[in-house]
Structures are given as structure tokens and as C-alpha cells.
Amino acid sequence: MGNGRYRTVFHTALSPADAFAAARQELRSWLITKSVRQKIDIAAYDAGHAQLGDGIVLLRDSRTDGDGTQTSNWQLREHKDNGYWLSSLVVHAPGKIASQEERTWFWLDVEHVRKGDDGEIGPPSPAALPNLARKLLAMVDARDHWAELRPTPTIIRPDRVEELLEILTDERRRLPVVVASPHPRILFDTWKKTIDNVTRFLPGLASLYVMDPLAIEDFNRAVGFAFEVRSGGVRTYLPDLDLAIDEDAVRHRVLSGARIEADVRRSAQLLTAIPRQLSADGRLPEPLSRLTRGTFASRAARSTAAESPAIPSYDFSILIQENVAIRGENGELRELLELAGYEERKLRENTADLQDDMIGTAAELETANQKIAELVDWVRVLRQRLASAGRAADAYVPTDTPTLLPTQLPEVLTRLKELDRVEFTGDDDPVWRLEEKAQSSTWAQTTWLVALALQDYAEAVVGHRFNGDFRRWCTEPPSGASAISAGKVKTDESESVQNNQKMRRLRILPVPAEVEPTGRIYMGAHIRIGGGAGMSAPRLHFYDDARGTGKIYIGYLGPHLPVKTTN
């Protein structure tokens, strides 16, 4: 879903004059900082010129509508990295405001537009957190309704727990709230520095809080067991939180303190992924919903041309210069049209992916609901029979070993050590890439159910109780055995993939030397993880050596590997 864009949108209580002044001041400060690494003419900026350097253009536009609404826009274009970087800052002061706290709105986008040798727009480089965002958040009292947006996490003392609870359950909150708990074995000030580090990519994308050790128990009692965070963990509370519905807790992910200690860099990436996607792809708030960056930039380009001095018709040298300038402006407008076309294509692709996921998820939900109904009927009949046999008390005894499904994919890799017939031999980087997606908790649960089914299958093969392959096992599972939908299991890739050396090589994956002396073997057998039937659904590739070493080896878990239809 994400296209590499960084976006932050927030409101302030600043007057329009103060908001516009703050934007100009911080934009100038940002350009000065950038000029250390590249030639940017600050004097040209101060004079209001568009050209600030070689390949660096700043378009500006301001307008006041009849109802008193004021809007200013700055759009900086820097040609580099096989394309150009586009940074757009909009400050908007509605004529009619919802409250004094929402007098002015700030909207900052930074993204890369990559252009290939053929002129086509390609996949962008991801934008880092811009220093301009940090500067603005430090300068103004930025808010997401009641939530504070700060460059670093805010400490919540006992007297502010109630305020944080109101922020969490605020129906008008648009952005996630990230709450970090104190670590039981690490001094608070030391752990606070770790939390600052692990949340360093989140300013502007979420409101950030770290609980004081004296406040954490009050907070956890208030939110309840299902929604608590403790032991150094960090929890991301998404919008539309309802603390009264325990089943909703799975949406609000927890990153454990142990995982943060083990790998701060990856933990920072995990924490950032969903807030960044929600911010980049989410709807703009109503006061900004009618604004578009393309309209601003094209109007700014036209106004720049209109402000050019009149040139006498007989001065051909100046006419030539003016013609060159107009061509440059036309080039800027063409690039804006290219960007609009690129965004439209991305929107169509994202819509298609969502449609694919929705159809697949709906089908899986229907299957799961039917299975649940059958199990409920089965349990009811068994309880009736036990009651008829005079053993009614036995009918309600809980199971000795309840199945606890993991909610994070890295946790699945850890828990595979509990299974003696299933081993993960692949690279965990693709697994972490999946963890950045919104559906990752569902994928983690599905993957664990797949692992349990592979375990039962391998046990049956080793014990000479089953002679078929894993797909047949899932088609006709023995009574009481773990299995998955046989439709998810493919015993090999298509012929086009098998016969394509480049794509086949991608499926030659690690195994122990006792399986294959070279340490790598072709794994065409794979299982679809998730609801989508197309490229959007992740894949698990495995090698069945149950009749050899007695194990199933998972060589890959991650996004769909390339096929001929992959662009």
C-alpha cells in the first residue's frame, strides 16, 4: 500500500498570521540546513525567486477566499536520485473553524518520484523523516484533536493518566497513539533513551508517550488486561479504540521489551510501518479534503509566468531567454501531470490489491464461520450425550492444553522450536517485511496453524500411518489431526516458473547438509498465507523430507516470489 511518501497533517491554535510566519521561518531554517550539503541560494529564497539552485525549484502560492479562508503552499522540487524529490508544505486557515484549537492546519508531504531512462515513472525511494517535520513539531503546539504530536515521547506521570485515557478513546483521533512502558530491569532514564531511539521515525505520524514507573499500574488497571502494556513493551493503539471490547485488542499491537532490546533498528522499522501507511494512504481531514498539491503547483507556475516583466517584441535575445523560461515552466507542469498519473496508477493498484484481499478474506471468513458452526454443533451433541450418560460435569471441563495463537510473525519463528518435525531454514528478513503490514497478525496465526498441520503430517508419515503428500493430508485429514484448507497447498510451481532459470533460482532455498550436501534445494511446494489469491497473499515455501530426515523444512516465508506476471 505505502508508496514511500512521508505525510504529516496536524492542527494548531495559532492564528493564521502566526502559522504562516512559523511555516516561512522553519522552511527557511530547513533550507539553510540543506544548503550545507547542496548549493541552495538562500538570498534567492528571501527575494521570492523560484530557482534556488541547479535543479532546485521552489513554487509558492497564497490565496484568500471570499469566506475568509486563507491558504499558503510551498512546493520544493530537487532533481536527483534518478528523478526528483517533491516536498510540499500547505498551511490552511479555514474561514469557519471547528474550535479555537483547530484554527490552522499544517500538511507536509515529502516523496520521491523516480524516472527511468524511458521517461516512465518507476517505484520511488522511501522518504526519511524530514527535518522540516521535526522543526515544525518543535515550533508549534501540534495536535491530532486532543493528542499531542511532539518530536520525542511525552512522559506520562500519575496525574496525566486520565488525560491519556481520554486521548486513547477520543472518537475524533485520526492517528495512532504509541505508549511505551517502563522496563522492570533497566533504569527509567536509560530506557527512555531507548524508547526515544525506537520511536525516532514516528514524529508526525503518531502521538508518542512513555509511562512513568509510578503511573504504569494505574494505566493498566484502567485499560484492562486485554489492552495493557508492561515490561518495557510498546503498544500502538489505533484509532476507534473501544476498551469495552476485549476482542478488539488484537488490532492494537504490542512490541515486547525483549524484542526491542534484541534489535532496536528492526523494532523502530516495525513500529513505524503501520502509522506511516495510515498517514500516507488515509483520508485528509475535512478542512483539507478539497485541497490538492497539483492545483497549487500549477497555479503557482502560472502566477510565476504571469509575473514575468513584459518584454519588448524587438529584443530577440530577451525573448529567447523568456522562451527558455516558459519551456522550463512547461516542463514543471508536465512533471506535475506525470506525478498525478503515477498517483492515479498507484491508487488503482492499491484498490485492486484491497479488492483481492477483501474477496479472499471474505471467502476465508465464510469457511471459518462454517467450521465454527460445525464445531459448536459437535460440542453441543457431545455435551448432551455426556449429560445423558450421567457425566454432565465432564462436559464443561476445559482442555488441558489450549491452543494459543501467536500475533506476530517473528514470534512464529521462535515458537517453531516447540515443534520437532518442522524447521525454519530461511532468511528472516522477508518475515520482518511481512510484519510491517496491517494484516500481519492474521498471517502469524495462519502460519502457526500451517506449522501445526505440517507437524501432525510429518509425525504420521514417520510413524507409517500416512502414505500421501501434505496436500492429500489436508484433503482427507485423519480424525483429530491438524490440517488446513487443501486449496492453499500447491505441490509445485507452474511450468513457466519451473522452466525459467531466474525464477527457479529464487526458489532454491537453504536446507541442512544431511538433506542436500550443497546446503540448498529447490522448493516448489508452497502454501498461500492470507486471504488474497493473487500476488498480494504471502507464501510459505517448504521441502518435505518427512520420509528422509523426518522433518519439513520451511525455506521461505515472505511476500510472493516473482513470477512471469510480476511487473
3-state SS record for 262-321: HCHHHHHHHHHHHHHHHHHHCCCCHHHCCCCHHHHHHHHHHHHHHCCCCCCCCCHHHHHH
| DSSP H or E stretch at residue 351 | helix 316-388
| Averaged pLDDT for residues 522-528 | 95
Q: Which pLDDT score, from 0 to 100, does residue 448 have?
A: 95
Task: Give residue 287's pLDDT band: very low, low, confident or very high (50, 70, 90).
Answer: confident
- Domain around 18: 1-141
pLDDT at 547 over 90: yes
Residue 514 has phi, psi (to 5 degrees) of: -70, -15
321 and 415 in one domain?
Answer: no
Do 554 and 408 lie in one domain? The reply is yes
Bridge partner residues of 111 (DSSP): 86
Domain end call among 277, 307, 335: 335
Q: Which residues contact 431 (CB under 8 A, 6 or more apart)?
A: 409, 410, 412, 413, 557, 558
- Same-domain check for residues 15 and 133: yes
Q: Please tell me which residue, 13 or 113, carries the higher pLDDT value.
A: 13
Lowest mean pLDDT among 130-144, 300-314, 325-339, 472-486: 300-314
**Cell numbers of 297, please?**
503547483
Residue 183 lies in a domain: no
518 has pLDDT over 90 = yes
Q: What is the rounded distance in angstroms from the CA atom of residue 507 to the CA atom of residue 521?
A: 8
* Residue 2 scores a pLDDT above 60: no
The pTM of the full predicted model, rounded to 2 decimals, is 0.74
Domain edge (last residue) among 92, 123, 141:
141
Number of domains in the chain: 3
Query: Would you say residue 197 lies in a domain?
Result: no
C-alpha to C-alpha distance for 31 and 321, rounded to whole angstroms: 28
Residue 287 lies in a domain: no
- Tally of helices (H runs) and strands (E runs) in the chain: 16, 21
Q: Which of 205-209, 406-410, 454-458 has the lowest mean pLDDT?
A: 406-410
Q: Could you report the per-residue pLDDT of 21-49, keeping only the tens digit for each?
A: 999 999 999 999 998 888 999 999 999 88
Looking at the fold, whether 554 and 417 belong to one and the same domain comes out as yes
- 3-class DSSP state of 39: coil
**Are residue 406 and residue 326 in the same domain, yes or no?**
no
Pairing between β-strand 121-122 and β-strand 104-115 as defined by DSSP bridges: antiparallel
Please report which confidence band the pLDDT of residue 533 belongs to, taking 50, 70 and 90 as the band edges.
very low
The answer to the question of residue 347 being in a domain is no
CA angle, 296 then 206 then 408, to 5°: 125
pLDDT digits (tens, 9 = 90+) for 369-379: 777 788 788 88
Tell whether 374 is covered by a domain.
Answer: no
At which residue does the C-alpha cell 507437524 appear?
455
Q: For the ranges 87-96, 109-118, 359-368, which has the lowest average pLDDT?
A: 359-368
549 domain residue, yes or no: yes
Task: Give pLDDT tens digits for 86-102.
Answer: 899 999 999 888 778 88
Q: Band the pLDDT of 209: cuts 50, 70, 90.
A: very high
- Of 141, 176, 211, the residue at which a domain comes to its end is 141
On whether residue 290 sits in a domain, the answer given is no
Beta bridge partners of 89: 74, 108
Cell of 449: 496453524
Based on the domain organization, do 125 and 24 belong to the same domain? yes
d(CA 133, CA 205): 10
pLDDT tier at 361, thresholds 50, 70, 90 = low
Nearest Cα to 73, choosing from 305, 235, 299, 238?
Answer: 299
Do 145 and 139 form a contact (C-beta atoms < 8 A)?
A: no
Question: Within a domain: residue 421?
Answer: yes
Which is higher by pLDDT, 334 or 533?
A: 334
